[in-house]
A = this chain, B = another copy of it.
Amino acid sequence: LTRALVTGGRGFVGRQIVAALAAHGFEVAATTSSKPDPLITGARWFTVDLMDPAATRQVLRDWQPEILVHAAWDTTHGSFWTSEANYDWVSASLNLIRSFTAEGGRRFVGVGSCAEYDWNAGTCFEASTPLQPWHCYGDCKATVFRLSSRFAADRGISFAWARIFLVYGPHEGEARLVPSVVRGLLRGETVKVSLGTQIRDVMHVADAGEAIATLAAGDVVGPVNIGTGEQVSLADVVGLIGTLTGHSDLIAYGALPLRPDDPPVLVPHVTRLRHEVGYRPRHSLQTGLADAIAWWQQKQHDNAQIGD
């Protein structure tokens, strides 16, 4: 069995990568800064602060992973775009790939973001769209991409970089678009949204995790956009949630302004993912949103049971 390590294994995307790597037949360990999640089975857990170089090195020394998927980062909703923690993650990420390589690691896969690209581009191509981030978060992710690429090439380890676009699904932060619409409608409340004219590629997080695990299991190198290849407007997404919950009437389109820093079109070119990595998503937008709605329904039910 090949040993893999996933950083940020409790995270929204990280937990899906852990599950998908286990399904791929890897011997998986995951790091968390808090404590193991009993819901995620099939992985060994390491509780470690990745800001601590010595402690991080010890985890790599103990587990000796051949493959490392680095999904940990600060993603606190509302603050992560501009947070100073982004700079700490640059240092922590550089330390991580150096320690991984020093301990004999073979392949490093980083989790990047559409925020690395110049959002004026509309459709983002790995090979040609400039890395001209609009926010600190994207700048720091692009920095780790650049310097880790360089480091890996110099040291002869295999390196790939998964750029995630818009993902949704179980365990998503409640303040984000899909959960806030789903939860509001399930409660029978009016939900205020913008006109929703923004064109996006929205992917179920389990598919994103599986795409990254497939990338990690193979030998494709360099940046790879992670997306479905389907372009939808956010109004389509919100409308479909309305249909699936039977509460279309509760959606107030245009009640919120469009954000000035929200680009009209932000979608990936997915040729590399489809034809080089060979991955296609399992969920359509309809089945994916239905799954997310079912998960939030179950969560509301569980919380009601325990009096929350």
A91 to B98, CA, bound (A): 13
- Is A22 in contact with chain B by the CB < 8 A criterion? no
Determine which of B84, B98, B140 lies in contact with A87 in the assembled complex, contact meaning CB atoms within 8 Å.
B98
* Interface residues as binary, A61-97 with B (CB distance below 8 Å gives 1, 0 otherwise): 0000000000000000000001010010011001100
Asked whether B147 lies within 8 Å of A140 as measured between CB atoms, the reply is yes
Which of B90, B91, B136, B147 is within 8 Å of A139, CB to CB?
B147
A301 on the interface (CB 8 Å rule)? no
A selection of 14 A-B contacts at a CB cut-off of 8 Å is A84-B98, A87-B94, A87-B98, A87-B147, A90-B90, A90-B91, A90-B147, A136-B150, A136-B151, A136-B154, A139-B146, A139-B150, A143-B143, A143-B146
Docked complex Cα distance between A172 and B94 (Å): 31
Chain B nearest CB, measured from A10 CB (Å): 25
User: Which B residues lie within 8 Å of A154 (CB)?
Assistant: 82, 136
A261, B208: Cα distance in complex, Å: 40
- Interface SS of A by simple majority: helix
Known contacts A143-B143, A143-B146, A146-B139: A151-B87 contact under CB 8 Å: yes
Chain A interface residues (CB < 8 Å from chain B): 82, 84, 87, 90-91, 94-95, 98, 136, 139-140, 143, 146-147, 150-151, 154
Bound complex: CA A95 to CA B88 (Å): 9
Q: Distance (Å) between the CB of A98 and the closest chain B CB?
A: 7
Known: A87-B98, A91-B95. 17 other contacts (CB 8 A): A82-B154, A84-B151, A87-B94, A87-B147, A87-B151, A90-B90, A90-B94, A90-B147, A91-B91, A91-B94, A136-B150, A136-B151, A136-B154, A139-B146, A139-B147, A143-B143, A143-B146
Chain B neighbourhood of A140, CB < 8 A: 147
Chain B residues, Cβ within 8 Å of A84: 98, 151
A82 to B150, CA, bound (A): 10
Q: How far is the CA of A139 from the CA of B139 in the complex (A)?
A: 14
Which residues from chain B contact A139 at a C-beta distance below 8 Å? 146-147, 150
**Chain B residues with CB below 8 A from A95, complex form:** 91
Which residues of B lie under 8 Å from residue A90 when comparing CB positions?
Answer: 90-91, 94, 147
Complex formed: what's the CA distance from A136 to B155 in Å?
12
A82 — which chain B residues lie within 8 A by C-beta? Answer: 154
| In the complex, residue of chain B having the shortest beta-carbon distance to the beta carbon of A135 | B150
